[in-house]
Amino acid sequence: MNSKKTKLLRGDLLDEDVEMTLAQLCRACELSEAQIIELVEQGIIDPLGPEPAEWRFVSISLRRVRITRNLQRDLGVNAPGAALALELLEQIEELRARLRRLET
């Protein structure tokens, strides 16, 4: 435990070149395959590849899936409701960025 405190850890940056498999996304978000597939069907994330076994996700999917999952778990909304909330949150984020540019 002590050595962990001082050692500098180097991680992998999940940029647009890094893709995740369905299994990796399930693990990282603590969701089942069926739950991820539902998010794909809602258009929250778009996989590359034809079949779930060959699906690849761009790593920004991780953030969208986690927000959707948190909203579903914490607020009891269903998948379409969470998808709508995510869409609106992203719009608010863009507007906030524009507002910051104009205000200062």
The amino acid that residue 65 corresponds to is V
- Structure letter (DSSP) for residue 7: S
Q: Does 79 bind other proteins (CB under 8 A)?
A: no
Residue among 15 and 51 whose Cβ is closer to other proteins: 15
- Write the DSSP assignment of 34-74 as a string of letters: HHHHHHHHTTSS--BSSSGGG-EEETTHHHHHHHHHHHHHH
Q: Does 3 bind other proteins (CB under 8 A)?
A: no
Whole-number Å distance between alpha carbons of 34 and 74: 19
Q: Does 85 bind other proteins (CB under 8 A)?
A: yes
Q: Which stretch binds other proteins (CB under 8 A): 37-45, 47-55, 63-71?
A: 63-71
Could you tell me which residues are beta bridge partners of residue 57?
Answer: 20
Q: Does 7 bind other proteins (CB under 8 A)?
A: yes
Where do contacts with other proteins occur on this chain (CB under 8 A)? Answer: 1, 4-15, 27-28, 30, 59-60, 62-63, 66-67, 70-71, 74-76, 85, 89, 97, 100-101, 104
